[in-house]
Structure 1
Amino acid sequence: MHSLGLLALAAAGVQAVPQGLGGAGGGAMLRFGCAQTVIDRIDPLVDPGQVPSPHVHQVVGGNAFNATMPVTDISKVASCTTCTFTQDFSNYWTANIYFRARNGSYHRVPQMANAQIGDANGGVTVYYTSPGPKQVTAFKPGFRMFSGDASRRKSAGFGKNMQSCYRCFTAPNFGGNTMSPCMDPKIDSEGFPSTPCPGGIRSSVIFPLCWDGKNLDSANHIDHVAHPVGGPASFAVTNAKCPSTHPVKIPQIHLEIVWDTTKFNKKEDWPEDGSQPLVLSHGDTTGFGQHGDYVFGWKDDSLQTAMDKGCFGPTCTGLKTQAFPAANKCTVKSAVKEDTDGWLPHLPGQDMNMPGMSS
């Protein structure tokens, strides 16, 4: 592995990396930032065409994002992307986190750029990981998938192989960030942290890494993909065997979102019963319902090339990159005209009669 890449990953808290990643003949791990494209209440995967959809999402990636997205090559529809790899016009989106104050009002928790990412306008850190050249098949145009379960309110029971977790930073500047995502028994949890986090919170969402090789999507956006034999694989563990029903190994996608909860750490502002005050935008107060959506949009064979070359970190020979001053300018106009940032009496979408609501 490249020594500079190792240092960067260590600083980012990614230390449990499989042997052989990075460099010729080894595995690949792209790690790059995608700035915020839009905060909006539309969902072309779960609620296509519905304006507004039931809850707010934060979206990153290409500007082809819309309430309905055709099952086609998105890279030929989008004209810009918020990702630093300019060939990646994919869209990635997750639920937002809101703070629920003692008086019952809600405020969206702002995002901040992840460690070693740069001056991004919030957004998401994206990983694509492969165990070695020609060992994964990149996604095809029109491919889309979903990770998680929005209705989940208790642990999935996967232990350290959990596919969704939160890291409670112990100090500013990503304090305590020394172990691989979801692997720290002290500051990682599958549900929302129960105590204030001095440095904010990082969300992780990990997608399945096996595909049936035929369907670009499925009715629930999950059944065409699967976990390896033996169950879910933790972050960057991509050498597991795929089941016969889903024999094609695909790159492991991992999303990280950092939430600046520090301004909401005063216990006197928390609910009187002392319960944790965070809630996902679809109304989940446990955090177990965290989920992520993905629509593939890499241009031509650029992702396959990156995986086969063993590309590592935020750069890759043959792929073009852009700095965040340019990436931050790629935006999509909100489809739903509503306040998502001020102090609100209800979560957006939970009360269609709330002030300022219109579609």
Structure 2
Amino acid sequence: MKAIYTLIIQAGLSYAGLRFGCSSVSIQRLDPVVEPGQIPSAHVHQIVGGNAFNATMQGDIGEKGSCTTCAYTEDFSNYWTAVLYFKHENGSYKRVPQYPNAQLGTEGQDAPDIRGGMTIYYTQQDFTGNGDRYIQAFKPGFRMTVGSPTTTSKTNSSAQTGLRYTCLQTILTRGYETNELPKEPCPAGIMAIHHFPACWDGVNLDSPDHQSHMFSTVRGAFQEAGPCPASHPVRVPQLAYETMWDTTVFKDMWPKDGSQPFVWSFGDGLGFGTHADYLFGWLGDSLQRAMNSSCMFHMCGSPGMQGILKTQTVEEMNKCAVKNTVEEDTDGWLSELPGQAMYGHSKDGVGAFE
């Protein structure tokens, strides 16, 4: 505790918050956290971040990449979730495209759009402050997951307040959230939201289940998180993902019986099994510098605006990619979900595998 107090005195209480876009770096069946070395992994993931992403990732990831799809050039972390598919009435599947967060903006009217991807947040207490706790950046080698594809009930899902969906009425809709996939057509698509725990045990960079070294005090919707317990006393940044799924491209194919047609790549058509993975890869002390600063969102650095962090253009973000290790079609009209035949698929639309 004395060490943490010393850091507070040295750094001061800051009000930093990061919000930035990352374009897709890969869409394939790999998962170096839950299934390291397994080629292919059980289901398809959409991955953003550094181009060091592969089936087996160890050590300081920040030192292993040569480019990143994220706006901040010092961030070689990898962030990923399962992929959302549309299930046609004829039984075939089509990957749902992603679109960028309209609030991120671009550097000009003629600038390209971010290619798919996600919006990443590192906040402290909320969008205006961090309370009275020093925020410790993650360490090289750190990784964690949130949620589980084996969660199949609303009761279990309700306990995970940071995992939610928003049925977008417009591209700027925020607020109303559910813990299951929306049952009706959404005018501007579906936003999937993943809030990670923000309390660390201060010792372990990982744990056998990739979650026990963390403790969640998340209240959802970027509300102020509760205090960390003695078992997990170290406050780390509140990490969150937002993925905008453009379900509107299927509006003319909605099932005649009105049933909800979207399904995660691991077979979950209810939405309770939504989950996400994180593998830290910021260079040097760049994330800690940001957390110690007083910048918020674009003020931390954006194209045309100097900040505490270095940025790149959307065009540069979109150029970074990873060659697929697993060669299979994940995007066309598919007769089954990739991995479904190999790993099994339950009749009720809920997969039961990692």
Aligned to 1:129: 123
AA in 2 matched with 1:103: N
- Cα deviation for residue 134 of structure 1 reads 6.1
Q: Tell me the SS of whatever aligns to 1:120.
A: coil
Q: Tell me the SS of whatever aligns to 1:265.
A: helix
Cα RMSD, aligned residues only: 1.9
Aligned to 2:322: 332
AA in 2 matched with 1:264: F
Distance 1:46 1:260 in 2: 27
User: What is the percent sequence identity of the aligned residues?
Assistant: 50
Matched, 1:116 2:106: no
Aligned to 1:244: 230
Moved more, 139-148 or 157-166: 157-166
- In structure 1, stretches of 5+ residues that fail to align are 1-23, 354-359
Matched, 1:77 2:76: no
Which aligned pairs between 1:301-320 and structure 2 lie closer than 5 A? Answer: 301-316=285-300, 317-320=307-310
Q: Tell me the SS of whatever aligns to 1:304.
A: helix
- Cα deviation for residue 222 of structure 1 reads 0.3
- Cα deviation for residue 318 of structure 1 reads 2.6
Q: Once superposed, which parts of structure 1, at least 4 consecutive aligned residues long, lie more than 4 Å away?
A: 156-161
Q: Is the 8 A contact 1:38 1:334 kept in 2?
A: yes
Distance 1:155 1:130 in 2: 29
Aligned to 1:98: 85
Q: Tell me the SS of whatever aligns to 2:242.
A: strand
Aligned to 2:189: 200
Deviations 1:155-197 (A, max 9, x none): 25676972111111124xx15x143xxxx2xxx2111100001
Q: Is the 8 A contact 1:166 1:191 kept in 2?
A: yes
Aligned to 1:321: 311
Which aligned pairs between 1:1-359 and structure 2 lie closer than 5 A? Answer: 26-70=14-58, 72-117=59-104, 118=106, 119-131=113-125, 132=130, 135-156=134-155, 162-171=161-170, 174=171, 177-179=173-175, 184=176, 188-228=177-217, 232-266=218-252, 269-271=253-255, 273-316=257-300, 317-352=307-342
- In structure 2, stretches of 5+ residues that fail to align are 1-11, 107-112, 301-306, 344-354
- Cα deviation for residue 308 of structure 1 reads 1.2
AA in 1 matched with 2:63: K
- Cα deviation for residue 310 of structure 1 reads 2.5
AA in 2 matched with 1:277: P
C-alpha spacing 1:315/1:60, structure 2 compared with 1 (3 Å):
farther
Q: Tell me the SS of whatever aligns to 1:293.
A: strand
Q: Is the 8 A contact 1:209 1:238 kept in 2?
A: no
Distance 1:235 1:198 in 2: 21
Q: Tell me the SS of whatever aligns to 2:32.
A: coil
Distance 2:277 2:99 in 1: 20
Give the paired residue count.
Answer: 314
Distance 1:30 1:250 in 2: 13
Distance 2:186 2:248 in 1: 7
Q: Tell me the SS of whatever aligns to 2:332.
A: coil
AA in 2 matched with 1:345: S
Q: Is the 8 A contact 1:129 1:238 kept in 2?
A: no
- Cα deviation for residue 270 of structure 1 reads 3.6
Q: Is the 8 A contact 1:63 1:330 kept in 2?
A: yes
